[in-house]
Structures are given as structure tokens and as C-alpha cells.
Amino acid sequence: MSTVDTVPRQRSALLQRARAPTHAELQMVPWLPLLRDDEHAQAVKTLQVADAEVGDFVCKIGRPVRFWFGVVDGLLKMSNDPAAGPAVTFTGIPPGAWFGEGTLLKREAYRYNIEALRRSVVAGLPIETFEWLLDRSIAFNRYVMNQLNERLSQFIAARETDRLGDPDTRVARNLAALFHPVLYPGVGELLRITQEELGYLVGLSRQRVNEALKSLQAVALIRVEYGGVRVIDLDGLRRFRI
């Protein structure tokens, strides 16, 4: 993220805040331990992180792809272009998530926006290093292939969820998606999210989200804690339906 950037201003601001990752931040990159020593060294050499403020765009529709991005800390959302029709949030992106590999593989412009819902730490691996690893590392290829497969399943499930009219079920399914152990390994059992942020992701008011969380807690699927939601029964959350 240190190279000269010619794309619009909002992304440039994020690039200008880029820095080398700390040791603790490198520990949050789930695919690094899979690499051989030389591959690991090259990845760490080119990895950079940036502090994204609320409303910063990490990816913007129409902009060229330059990095493979991951969330070290915070919460992002993937959405459409609201100027082209009704605003739609495709998914939330919590800590541990890496995204955009499909766009990198096709080297096409972004077809979605990625925006920070709260102050977040975002990592970026340059496309040149991404492709270098694909050319050399079987383990890295398997990781990327698994990401693509799991993400396809996630979006098929999200399509089904969007057709459900019951708000409690929508909240349950969206929460379950955010606790995905493969796509979002940094979440663990406690997702730090506010009811307002969850409302943005699900497309419901904070008040209605609050009601849904109380219902899910009453049947012992989750526990609402200070600053977040703890999953008690992930399989039950995935299967929940009124």
C-alpha cells in the first residue's frame, strides 16, 4: 500500500495511513503459518496495515484491484452501489476475514463497496505477492480455494435468508454467518458488535434487532454481553426458523 496511488481521494487517505504490521497484528493473519519460510518472509515483507475510520472505503465499485485485504480488527460491510438502486448489504466482514480473492484472480474492477462500520485495522497484500504465492505455494492455493468454496456456500445461504420475512430468523442467520469458523477465524465465540451495527448488516432497526436478540437468547442460542454477542449453539443458530 506504499506505492503511488492514482485512484480517488478516499482510498488514497487509507493508503497514506499504511504502515508495517506489528508482531501482534501478524499473528492475526490466518494463512501466514501455512507458508514455507521463504514464502512467509516475502509475504511479511510486503504486507501492510492501515487504520480505517468509520465510513472509509477499503474497496469501491469501479476501482481497480491492487490488494488482497484482511480484517485485523474492527468490522466492515460489503454492499452495492446505493445510487444504482435500493441499498443492499451483502455481508459483514469481522476480524480474521480475508476477501476479494475472486476479484484479484480475474483482475477486474470491484463490483462492490467495502466500508468500515467502525474504526478498524485492515491489512493489504499486494496483488503481485498474492500471485507470487499462487505460483509457488500449494498450501496457499488450497487456502484460497477453500475460501472461494466457503464463500459460495455463504452467499447461497444469504440468498435464502433474504427471502425470509421473519426478522428473528434473519438476525439468527446473519449472526451465524458472522461466526463462520473458516471465513472469519478471528471472531471465536464472542463477536464484538453493537445492535446498531447489526441492524445495518441485516437491514432492520436497532429496536427490532434488540427484540430478535432477546428471542434468540431466550432459547439459549446466544448470550448478549457487554459490547457484543456470544454464540452458545452455532448449529442451532444456523437452523433457527420461526
d(CA 237, CA 136): 39
Question: 152: how many CB neighbours lie within 10 A of its CB?
Answer: 11
* 158 inside domain: no
| Same-domain status, 14 and 91 | yes
Contact between 87 and 80 under an 8 Å Cβ cutoff? The reply is yes
Same-domain pairing of 43 and 143: yes
Nearest to 1 by CA among 94, 122, 140: 122
Q: Is the pLDDT of residue 198 over 50?
A: yes
25-59: pLDDT as tens digits: 999 999 999 999 999 999 999 999 999 999 999 99
> What confidence tier does 157 reach under pLDDT thresholds 50, 70, 90?
confident
From 129, 151, 173, give the residue that closes a domain: 151
The mean predicted confidence, pLDDT, of the chain is 89
In this structure, the answer to whether residues 102 and 20 fall within a common structural domain is: yes
**Domain edge (last residue) among 151, 174, 197:** 151
Instruction: Provide the grid cell at 106.
Output: 480475474
Task: Give the pLDDT confidence score for residue 6 in this predicted structure.
Answer: 37
Q: Residue 14 — pLDDT band, cuts 50, 70, 90?
A: confident
Is 2 a member of any domain?
A: no
146 and 196 part of one domain: no
pLDDT of residue 5: 40
pLDDT of 112 strictly over 80 = yes
Q: What is the dihedral of CA 203, 51, 55, 177, to 10 degrees?
A: -10
Quick one: 170 and 198 in the same domain?
Answer: yes
Write out the residue range of the structural domain in which residue 222 sits.
Answer: 165-239
**Domain total for the chain?**
2
- pLDDT at position 11: 45
49 plus 141 within the same structural domain: yes
pLDDT on residue 156: 74
Rounded to a whole number of angstroms, the CA Rg of the chain reads 18
pLDDT band per the 50, 70, 90 thresholds, residue 207: very high
29, 100: one domain = yes
d(C-alpha 218, C-alpha 220), whole Å: 5
Specify if 159 maps to a domain.
Answer: no
- Among 151, 175, 208, residue at a domain's last position: 151
pLDDT at 56: 93
Residue 4 lies in a domain: no
Residue whose C-alpha cell reads 445461504 in the numeric block: 157
What is the reported pTM? 0.84
Query: Mean per-residue pLDDT for 199-225?
Result: 94
3 in a domain, yes or no? no
Q: Are residues 134 and 170 in the same domain?
A: no
Residues 131 and 169 in one domain: no
Residue 220: CATH number of its domain: 1.10.10.10
Q: Are residues 76 and 25 in the same domain?
A: yes
Kindly state whether residues 108 and 222 are assigned to the same domain: no
Shared domain for 74 and 18, answered yes or no, is yes
- Whether 169 shows a pLDDT value over 70: the answer reads yes
- Look up the CATH number of the domain holding residue 63: 2.60.120.10
